Amino acid sequence: MSLKELIDTYGLKDISTRTRISNDNLLNLLNEDFASMNKTNALGFIKILEREYGVDLSKLRQSVLESIEDENYVPKDLIITERRYSSKKKIVNSTVLFLLLFAGLIYVVYLINAQNADSHSSITKMEESLSIRDNEALESMEQELQLKEAVTDDFNEAEKNNKKEPTKSEKIAVNEAQIDENMISKETSKEAIEADLGEVAEENGLESALTEEPRVLERVAVDEVVIIPNQKLWLGYINLDTNERVQKNNANEMRITSNNTIIVTGHGWAQVAQKQYNTGDRLYFHFIDGELRRLNESAFRELNGGRIW
């Protein structure tokens, strides 16, 4: 069976839907017009047709081998390469990661500075308090010594010997012990503050809030999805209820009315739901219950079973 007989039997649209080969490429193979195709793609299309319908297209394969010589020719209607899109996505992801790390570093530095300021203030106050106490103790001791020297009575001398007052070294030892206790208390308080801060950050989900990426970028209420390309546009959409897949590749207005349908475009130079987009990247949408939602790539892949198409 030849390709012409195959198309006459099953129809161009049915073959395109089943094999995912565009109508333009099927017509080019039918007319043996290989000007816009390279050898690898043409032979691949033929192999898909033979596998899906169990036909022998060896004559058409031979025509391809004899007609196409330039393996480096790239078809005009191919979708934007994954390499360029992947490169842009890596740049964006790297920038976002850098900003998040920078913000986190600033927050950590702020906490450390605040804790150091509090600790320094506490230590300064404690040192001032100890200095005042030491001076008061020294003055008291000097007064007592002067009083002892003025007493000449034996009885008073005996009483003075029996009643010993704390020496200067003993009072200094007591003060040093108090300093050690205060320092231990300060270190314990610092550890408790750090533990409390960690629990608060965990309870508030600080890390997940910084790294979470929005899944739905835009929302608009519509009765149907109207797409008007600025230039020739590849468009694919899948009805999630019936799993029906449709591909289009033209520059004409396209309308989608089926509910619960996900949509992907080959580029972003088009008007969608009366909003103009001007970008070389793909656009992803979900039309459901009278609302058109623009998605990021991760959300689209999740709805499509992990696939981009």
Interatomic CA distance for residues 242 and 78, integer angstroms: 27
Please provide residue 202's backbone torsions phi and psi, each rounded to the nearest 5 degrees: -70, -40
Kindly state whether residues 205 and 238 are assigned to the same domain.
no
pLDDT reported for residue 42:
87
Interatomic CA distance for residues 47 and 56, integer angstroms: 9
Kindly state whether residues 225 and 202 are assigned to the same domain.
no
Domain tally, the chain: 3
Q: Which of the residue ranges 15-19, 65-69, 285-289 would you say has the lowest mean pLDDT?
A: 65-69
Kindly state whether residues 90 and 200 are assigned to the same domain.
yes
Kindly state whether residues 102 and 153 are assigned to the same domain.
yes
Tokens of 73: 């020719």
Q: Is 297 domain-assigned? A: yes
User: Mind listing the pLDDT tens digit for each residue in 75-132?
Assistant: 444 444 445 655 666 777 888 898 999 999 999 998 888 877 766 666 677 767 666 6
pLDDT reported for residue 208:
42
Q: Is 79 domain-assigned? A: no
- The pTM of this model reads 0.35
Single out the residue of 65, 19, 24, 68 nearest to residue 45, CA to CA: 19
99 is in which domain, residue-wise?
85-210
Kindly state whether residues 117 and 56 are assigned to the same domain.
no
Kindly state whether residues 198 and 257 are assigned to the same domain.
no
Interatomic CA distance for residues 236 and 265, integer angstroms: 6
Give the rounded percent of residues in the chain with a pLDDT score beyond 90: 38
Interatomic CA distance for residues 59 and 12, integer angstroms: 20
206 pLDDT more than 80: no
Kindly state whether residues 196 and 108 are assigned to the same domain.
yes
Residue with tokens 């970028």: 217
pLDDT reported for residue 252:
95
Kindly state whether residues 126 and 191 are assigned to the same domain.
yes
pLDDT reported for residue 295:
97
User: Mind listing the pLDDT tens digit for each residue in 38-59?
Assistant: 889 989 999 998 998 888 988 8
Kindly state whether residues 246 and 164 are assigned to the same domain.
no
pLDDT reported for residue 190:
44
Chain-centroid distance of CA 61 in Å reads: 47
Domain endpoint, select from 22, 37, 67: 67
- Considering the chain, what is the average pLDDT of its residues? 78
Dihedral Cα 30, 23, 83, 273, nearest 10 deg: 170
137 pLDDT more than 80: no
Kindly state whether residues 115 and 59 are assigned to the same domain.
no
